[in-house]
């Protein structure tokens, strides 16, 4: 029986902890779920990851058993965020349900545009931001979840959750699905030879969209992941995307160093890995600081400029390759 060990800390900065003592080989059709015996700190990206894994278990009929130390101090948090239910189990302890408004969004399944619209109405309380900043962050949610709805080909949709750290004014987001993954989803645009290559191109502005036209359409120009990555960069935070056997992880830009928005993700301060345990679907995680400042809005303008310049360069390079006879 394969073991699924959930470590004491899962965050963007130490995401590789999910691979500790895990092969993610469930070919025998059984999995034994165990938790770190003392404490489990879980970023929304971890919650979303295990929720997608729960969907995958149900989809292919993997039988699971689970064991948990009821003395773990973080059980109430994990329970309130919906982790145990996402894995197919009931809540382990009786707790009072606290109102989430202004602090967090527990794991929530999004399957269609109606559920996405309902989520958008519930997001405002945790943003603690001015109108323009709130609109930008809601755009991130919308674009990433539209990718799940339109491209994942998951019969059960995807998951989203978020937390707000009032002291640091930071919002953390996790979004996942157990669908076809980025490599298969990008095949309509180009033929990629690896999951990592597909991920890097998905992060490049103008590559994917609702049509094969360079830059996509005005409504969906394949810019969602690019903008999300840049927002993390602009606030000197982490961003991660994991699909298939690969991930791209943005590292933080040190204080005092200029933030540069690269249209080519390979030029970013980042870590790329392949040959990882295979993840059936797509996982995205991001941290960002929410500040009601003019600086944030100016950064959004710079991101837009980088996107437009990248698309224009792609068009020029494309037409240079065309030869008329």
* Span 279-290, pLDDT tens digits: 999 999 999 988
Annotation: CATH topology of 2-321:
Heat Shock Protein 90 (3.30.565)
Pairing state between β 41-42 and 9-10: parallel
Q: Which residues contact 132 (CB under 8 A, 6 or more apart)?
A: 297, 300
Check residue 177 and give its pLDDT: 97
Residue found by looking up tokens 């750290």 in the block: 165
Task: Name the pTM for this structure.
Answer: 0.87
The pLDDT, as a whole number, for residue 290 is 80
Q: What is the pLDDT of residue 135?
A: 80
Alpha-carbon distance 182 to 325, whole Å?
37
Instruction: Break the chain into its structural domains and give their ranges.
Output: 2-321
The vertex-165 CA angle with 164 and 168, nearest 5°, equals 135
For residue 10, the cross-strand partners are 42
CB contact set of 107 (below 8 Å; sequence gap of 6+):
47, 48, 51, 81, 82, 83, 85, 86, 159, 160, 161
Contacts of 183 (CB under 8 A, 6+ apart): 192, 194, 195, 198, 243, 244
* Residue 156 vs residues 56, 129, 148, 152, 266: alpha-carbon distances, Å: 10, 32, 10, 10, 33
Angle between helices 224-234 and 131-151 (to 10 degrees): 140
Q: Give me the pLDDT at residue 297, please.
A: 61
| pLDDT score for 128 | 75
Tens-digit pLDDT profile for residues 194-219? 999 999 999 988 765 443 333 333 33
The 10s digit of each residue's pLDDT in 85-132 is 999 999 988 876 666 656 899 999 999 999 999 999 888 888 877 777
Low-confidence stretches of the chain (pLDDT beneath 50): 209-221, 310-311, 314-325
pLDDT recorded at residue 187: 81
CA distance 252 to 269: 7
Q: d(Cα 239, Cα 248) in Å, to the nearest integer?
A: 8
pLDDT of residue 222: 55
Cα torsion 81, 84, 90, 96 to 10°: value is -30
């Amino acid at each position: 029986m394969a073991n699924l060990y959930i470590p004491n800390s899962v965050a963007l900065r130490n995401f590789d902890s999910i691979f500790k003592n895990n092969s993610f080989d469930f070919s025998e059709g059984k999995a034994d779920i165990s938790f770190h015996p003392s404490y489990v700190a879980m970023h929304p990206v971890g919650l979303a990851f295990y929720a997608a894994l729960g969907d995958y278990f149900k989809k292919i009929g993997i039988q699971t058993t689970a064991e948990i130390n009821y003395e773990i101090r973080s059980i109430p948090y994990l329970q309130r965020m919906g982790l145990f239910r996402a894995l197919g189990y009931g809540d382990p302890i009786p707790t009072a349900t606290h109102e989430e408004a202004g602090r967090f969004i527990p794991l929530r399944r999004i399957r269609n545009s109606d559920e996405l619209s309902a989520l958008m109405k519930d997001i405002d309380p945790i943003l603690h931001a001015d109108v323009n900043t709130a609109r930008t962050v809601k755009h991130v949610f919308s674009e990433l979840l539209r990718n799940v709805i339109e491209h994942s080909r998951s019969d059960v949709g995807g998951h989203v959750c978020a937390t707000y750290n009032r002291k640091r004014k930071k919002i953390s987001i996790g979004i996942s699905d157990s669908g076809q993954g980025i490599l298969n989803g990008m095949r309509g645009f180009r033929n990629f030879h690896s999951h990592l290559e597909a991920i890097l191109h998905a992060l490049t502005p103008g590559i994917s969209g609702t049509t094969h036209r360079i830059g996509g359409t005005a409504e969906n120009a394949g810019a969602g992941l690019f903008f999300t990555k840049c927002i993390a960069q602009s606030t000197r935070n982490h961003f991660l995307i994991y699909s298939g056997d690969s991930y791209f992880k943005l590292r933080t830009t040190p204080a005092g160093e200029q933030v540069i928005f690269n249209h080519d993700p390979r030029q970013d301060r980042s870590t790329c890995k392949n040959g990882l345990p295979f993840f059936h679907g797509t996982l995205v995680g991001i941290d960002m600081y929410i500040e009601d400042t003019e600086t944030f809005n100016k950064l959004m303008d710079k991101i837009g400029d980088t996107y437009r310049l990248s698309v224009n360069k792609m068009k020029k390079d494309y037409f240079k390759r065309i030869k008329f006879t």
